[in-house]
Amino acid sequence: MNILLEFFVVTFKVLWAFVLAAAKWLVRPKEKSVAGQVCLITGAGSGLGRLFALEFARRRAPLVLWDINTQSNEETAGMVRHIYREISEEAAAAARQATGDGEEEVLPHCNLQVYTYTCDVSKRENVYLTAERVRQEVGEVSVLVNNAGVVSGHHLLECPDELIERTMMVNCHAHFWTTKAFLPKMLEMNHGHIVTVASSLGLFSTAGVEDYCASKFGAVGFHESLSHELKAADKDGIKTTLVCPYLVDTGMFRGCRIRKEIEPFLPPLKPDYCVKQAMRAILTDQPMICTPRLMYMVTFMKSILPFEAVVCMYRFLGADKCMYPFIAQRKQATNNNEAKNGI
């Protein structure tokens, strides 16, 4: 009798979860503040990582930027400092106006700083050593954005083993090392947010990018298991957000093409749009965001349709060989570099 009663309670909770999810689609939830909370972003030197840094800076979060490329990371830091200066100037102007009107003085935000670290997240010890430096020089991290990613751009049998290993280490294994480095303090405080920037290719796959798909599937699996572990430990103060965008026009997959008749209806995402959608999900504690929303339907259909039906859909959309032009461009570029260097 107890299990029957519990079954009805669970059924009600499941239905209520659907109601709440629908309500959030209709009424936009209020965004939380990350002002003053240290945010660490991996792969911050370019692409989505740089845009995430700028978005968090606009929300007055002190930033810790990690990237393997020191120069590009410093360029991002320069952009962040420009935003901080604008915020300080606006705050100072508001303070002067408030004083002139006889109101209580508004103090400007003086603690906005950005810290840069050169770190190869594929190397475990490098991650742990850099994380320790961050704790000593900056403090504890409240928001962790695992964004760093690479792609080899080779067919499986043509891909050197070391590139396969690097793809797995950067896109998947690094999430383990960064989370292990910063999660303990989050658990102690029961406060924090872990963001996993994965891909739609972590939910469904295509031909020619086996290593990339495997690494993103691994990142998705890691994130989901971690989310369940936090729930099981009743650590409701630690939020998680999984970001799974469709192809983003950052140049990472330059040349990738689906069927030309379909492409106008499903073009590559603009990076700014992708990050703004992700930020909205992060700041409203949304567990998962797929961009565009069509990706939810594709994932659902892949789960229920027979494999041959999925293959038919891929061929109709031109998604079965969409990566082949990209791989061909990568191969041509590699051959040109080798010829240039006299190899």
Place of tokens 């972590």: 202
Distance CA 130, CA 134 (A): 6
| 334 CB-side CA count, 13 A | 11
Cα 214-219-224 angle, rounded to 5 deg = 125
Taking the CA atoms of 232, 26, 279 and 37 in sequence, report the sign of the dihedral they define: negative
State how beta strands 39-42 and 143-146 pair. Answer: parallel
CA-based nearest residue to 112, from 165, 34, 182: 34
Distance CA 326, CA 208 (A): 10
Q: Which residues contact 95 (CB under 8 A, 6 or more apart)?
A: 105, 106, 107, 108
Cα 28 to Cα 16, 18, 25, 281, 286: the distances in Å are 18, 16, 7, 11, 11
What is the crossing angle of helices 210-232 and 161-168, to 10°? 30
Distance CA 12, CA 224 (A): 23
Paired with 144 in beta bridges are 40, 194
CA 165 to chain centre: 21
Do residues 323 and 207 lie in contact, with contact meaning Cβ atoms separated by under 8 Å? yes
By annotation, the residues acting in catalysis are 212
Cα 136-141-143 angle, rounded to 5 deg = 160
Helix ranges (H only) for the chain are 2-26, 47-58, 70-100, 124-137, 161-168, 174-189, 210-232, 271-283, 294-304, 307-317, 324-340
